[in-house]
Amino acid sequence: MSFDEIPHTADVKIHASAPTLEGLFSETFKALMQVLYGTDRDGSVIRKIRIESRDNESLLADFLSEALFVSEVEGIVFSDARVKIDDHVLTADLVGELFDPLRHSAGTEVKGISYSELEIMHDANGYKLYIIFDV
């Protein structure tokens, strides 16, 4: 499992891959949190979320949008997502800690998740995607 930032003219573009769909969602979530807060993140606070969408791309965008919302509103910096997906229904335990401006200010504000270029691909090696975070 991994993710990399790809050069983009205006926003943040991420390439992520994982052997499973749940792993891909978790890696993309971690990429979002790293863009927002940098790499110094830990976890003892857990937030449960449930998302239902019509397809995997919408499910991912809705999941990341909800995580972004919860992070901003509740002031939680997430470090991990324990994701389960069953027939376009996602449940997840988001693991994190309260925002600390001394440790979590190394990132970039993300305004939203873009559907532009979002496509989840599956082959013999697992799952991969490209996604753009609007900054």
> Could you give the domains of the chain?
2-134 (3.55.10.10)
Q: For position 10, what pLDDT does the model report?
A: 78
pLDDT means per 10 residues, the chain with 135 residues, are 69 94 97 93 93 97 98 96 97 96 89 94 95 93
DSSP the chain: -EEEEE--SSSEEEEEEESSHHHHHHHHHHHHHHHHH-S-----EEEEEEEE-SSHHHHHHHHHHHHHHHHHHHTEEEEEEEEEEETTEEEEEEEEEE--TTTS-SS----EEEEEEEEEEEETTEEEEEEEEE-
CA distance 49 to 67: 8
The pTM of the full predicted model, rounded to 2 decimals, is 0.93
